[in-house]
Structure 1
Amino acid sequence: MNTKKKIYLDYNATTPVAKLVVAAMLPFFTEKFGNASSDHLFGWDAAEGVEFAREQVSNLVNCKSTEITFTSGATEASNLGLFGFCKKNSSKGKHIISCKTEHKAILDTMKALQNQGFQITYLDVDVEGNIDLEELKNNITAETILVCLMLANNETGLIHPMQEIEKIVHANGAKLMSDITQAVGKIPVDLKELNLDMAIFSSHKIYGPKGVGALYINKKNKVEIDQTVFGGGQEKGMRPGTLNVPGIVGFGKAAEIAAAEMNEEVIRISKLRNKLEEVLEEIEEVIINSKNSDRLPNTTNVSFENIDGNNLLRKLNNLAVSRGSACTSNLINPSHVLKAMGLSDELALSSIRISLGRNTALADIEFAAEEIKNTIDHLKNAVV
């Protein structure tokens, strides 16, 4: 029987729900259980909880509460935003620009749009995962209606220079959408400053419940999208259906806590991540992906040359780490992100993502570093 302690290091996949978040949600399962659309006391209590949460979420990302539409998660938000925008604006053009390293929630939606007659240009990235801003500029045409680029990559933590991207996109008459899911709660995200036209993010990445997300639509920039889901007038008709009131309330509380703790947490987590990487770099034939670029403070993506990736993950059974996105982790395929950065199939498959979080302590990092070093030594000696 394995008696070693087990360490969770996959916070980019999901986070545990904070106790204060659970406490905020509980009354909305029992005493305040009403339908937020009902016109009586129970409904009013539920609706009040939803609108308070909307304020909390909008405060975290610095936007108007009326610019937030609640969804079941970032994936649904991406579908509502992309399909709704393209449906509304297809008369202006049918060209969209994205990137090869986007999350599958975006890439798969792009494929569906392509099947509907839209032309998609996927930008290349360099060995660090950065796009070429000149390539972006050169690919925008009179037919380009939208550029969709994530703020922070979920696998490597790389942060795109969104303010520079925004200037290029808007100067050329297109709109800008961003998947900000991995950045929210980990680094300051100011939607007014970024001047995005649309953005998507999720509750369960910031210690809130699963099954809740948000679509941001910039009112100042007069972004218009068509309704693509039907069946009720909830969320101004953009996302009909009975609201998940407890989940939304939890999302709001998680956002409030993240806003209060973020600055101190960024410093603490950065130190832990840097400490971990210092130890890992003592291993021969190791590569820290995107290390020389701006990254999220909690994320490290490590490749081990001449190591079998399957054996590596099996041996690291005391550590919850991943090969990449949780949405594709059950597939034994090389990461599309790492492949786009130029890694071979073999090296991409022998790479792991380690993402730290609020509950990660120095002792966890020391334990994890030792486990990884010992495992790599064991695998190399076994080959010899």
Structure 2
Amino acid sequence: MTAVQRIYLDYNATAPLRPEVADEVVRALALPGNASSVHAEGRAARACIERAREQVAALVGARAKNVIFTSGGTEASNTVLSPSFRRLGQEGATRLLIGATEHPCGLNGHRFSADSVATLPVDHSGVVDLDRLREHLGEERVLVSVQLANNETGVLQPVAEIARLVQDHGGLVHSDAVQAVGKIPVDVAALGVDALTLSAHKIGGPKGIGALILASDQLEVADRLIRGGGQEKGHRAGTENVAAIAGFGLAAELARAELNQEAARLEALRDEAQALIRRVAPDAVIIAGEARRLPNTLAFAIPGLKAETALIAFDLEGIALSSGSACSSGKVRRSHVLDAMGVDPQLAEGVLRVSLGWKTTKEDVIRLAEACERVVNTLYKRRASAA
């Protein structure tokens, strides 16, 4: 019996490692030196890191000296969401304003006291309420943290507008760009933010490596999260993960080279998937379908179909999907993102996320629709027999 060829449509959780990146990681693993050593082997490791720093910086329009490598997006966000994040010569923020639909690494990982945090509500499309943001500005020194793109729905936030509002009042702005980078153009200066956080495994790089990007060298996090030696110019202690950093660098370079063409290709595939799902399930609800979204992301629900049941059915069909962020998989709880958007709780229990990427083809989308039709027909037969 021939095994079913599997189709991976969960890129927002993790993109498959690109073959070129895997080769680069293996090459870097063979470097014997510590990047802090002055001998030739150490200098080779250092050169590998600095080349990657340039590649990652170029992806987001930053200066290489302002790229700080971390163990991932979570550590990067935990680091910068601190009262000690400040402009040199100034005091840090006394209050954190954070979007209600942020990733848990921001909502749960910041370093502010509970009584100095305010959550910014979102509208039914998942977009931050700017009027509520304005109400908080000018009261205290604020740090505002808003994702550029949501991991569950793909909804894009007006980060440039948020940055202008906040900085007009002397505040600081951080944006979690983990899901956005490599899928849409991301530029630190154009966004006007003070800090961005990134993660390699969303763009076909290795897991376990990310970056905190500062807009200038006039910004610092005075209270370091990881202390020890002077690595990363004192920003983040610990011997650098040279192989992962090298892989991150190449993944960033490839993502930058392919960005415009790939975004258009994925948006066309996403729209085709959406149309096909609506054809086989006319009552399907597209989550935030009217909002600006990532070109690769589609979140939908079919009334009466529970996500847990659907995920198993699709998996048996050889298709990997998600019911939300991978960080929450395996936990029976409603999505805080959908709750914040006011999605009906029963509908929210059935939301599925399709996220496309560099290996996705039109044939994959057709297979998804065919599998969806079989899953839906089973649901409709059960409804008919129960009537």
Deviation at 1:307, TM superposition (A): 1.8
Partner AA of 1:241 in structure 2: G
Tell me the equivalent position of 2:117. 120
Mapped contact 1:83–1:228 kept (Cα < 8 A): no
Aligned partner of 1:149 in structure 2 is 146
3-state SS of paired residue (1:306): coil
Give the corresponding residue for 2:305: 307
Segment of structure 1 superposing worse, 284-293 or 148-157: 284-293
Distance 1:142 1:343 in 2: 32
CA shift in 2, pair 1:14/1:379, >3 Å = same
For the Cα contact (< 8 Å) 1:203–1:210, is it kept in 2? yes
Q: Which residue of 1 aligns with 2:253?
A: 256
**Mapped partners of 1:2, 1:347: distance in 2:** 36
Q: Deviations over 1:248-285 (max 9, x none)?
A: 01100001111111111011111100000011122132
Secondary structure in 2 aligned to 1:381?
Answer: helix
How many angstroms apart in 1 are the aligned matches of 2:109 and 2:352?
Answer: 26
Q: Corresponding residue for 1:298?
A: 296
Structure 1 residues 114 and 376: CA distance shift in structure 2, 3 A: farther
SS for the counterpart of 1:354 is strand
CA distance in 1, matches of 2:327, 2:354: 16
Residue 237 of structure 1 corresponds to 234
Matched to 2:289, the amino acid is K
**3-state SS of 2:68 partner:** strand
**Matched ranges for 1:158-307 at <5 A:** 158-219=155-216, 222-226=218-222, 227-282=224-279, 283-307=281-305
CA distance in 2, matches of 1:124, 1:330: 27
**Measured at CA, do residues 196 and 286 of structure 1 come closer, stay the same or move farther in structure 2, by a change above 3 Å?**
same
Deviation at 1:224, TM superposition (A): 2.6
CA 1:370/1:263 → structure 2, altered by over 3 Å: closer, same or farther? same
Judge which range, 324-333 or 84-93, deviates more.
84-93
Deviations 1:38-74 (A, max 9, x none): 1111100000000000000001111100010000000
Q: SS state of the match for residue 219, structure 2?
A: coil
Task: Please name the residue that 1:45 is paired with.
Answer: 44
Question: Structure 1 residues 347, 144: CA separation in 2 closer, same or farther (over 3 Å shift)?
Answer: farther
**Paired residue type of 2:369:** A
Q: 1:86 Cα shift?
A: 5.0
d(CA) in 2 for partners of 1:167 and 1:190? 15
Amino acid at match of 1:101: T
CA distance in 2, matches of 1:213, 1:207: 12
Deviation at 1:2, TM superposition (A): 8.1
Task: Give how far 1:128 is off.
Answer: 0.9
Contact map agreement 1:92 1:143 (CA 8 A) in 2: no
1:340 maps to: 340
Q: Aligned equivalents of 2:20 and 2:113: distance in 1? A: 43
Preserved CA contact (<8 Å) 2:87 2:219 = no
| Residue 77 (structure 1) aligns with | 76
Q: Helix, strand or coil: the match of 2:248? A: helix
SS in 2 for 1:301: strand
The residue aligned with 2:378 is: 378
CA deviation after TM superposition for structure 1 residue 172, in Å: 1.2
Per-residue CA distance 1:111-138 (angstroms, 9 max, x = gap): x5224xx511111111111112121111
Q: Secondary structure at the match of 1:261?
A: helix
- What letter is aligned with 2:157? H
TM (normalized to structure 1)?
0.95
What letter is aligned with 2:366?
E
- Which position in structure 2 is the counterpart of 1:102? 102
RMSD: 1.8
Question: Aligned letter for 1:56?
Answer: Q
Opposite residue 313 of structure 1, the aligned amino acid is L
Describe the shift of the 1:49–1:11 C-alpha distance in structure 2 as closer, same or farther (beyond 3 A). same
Paired letter, 1:224: E
Distance 1:322 1:369 in 2: 16
- Provide the rounded CA distance (Å) in 1 between the counterparts of 2:382 and 2:58: 53
Measured in 1, the distance between the counterparts of 2:345 and 2:62 equals 41
Q: In 1, distance between residues paired with 2:204 and 2:73? A: 15
Aligned residues of 1:185 and 1:258 also touching (Cα < 8 A): yes
- Aligned partner of 1:19 in structure 2 is 19
Residue 175 of structure 1 aligns to which amino acid in structure 2? L
Specify the SS of the correspondent of 2:327. coil
Question: What is the CA-CA distance between 1:192 and the residue it aligns to?
Answer: 1.4
Contact 2:93 2:171 in 1 (8 A): no
**For the Cα contact (< 8 Å) 1:307–1:380, is it kept in 2?**
no
Give 5+ residue unaligned stretches, structure 2. none
Contact 1:9 1:356 in 2 (8 A): yes
2:153–2:299 CA contact under 8 A, matched in 1 = yes
Q: Distance in 1 between matches of 2:104 and 2:87?
A: 23
Task: Give the TM-score normalised by the residue count of structure 2.
Answer: 0.94
CA 1:303–1:204 in structure 2 vs 1: closer, same or farther (change >3 Å)?
same
Amino acid aligned to 2:61? N
Amino acid at match of 2:12: N
Instruction: Give the AA of the match of 1:320.
Output: A
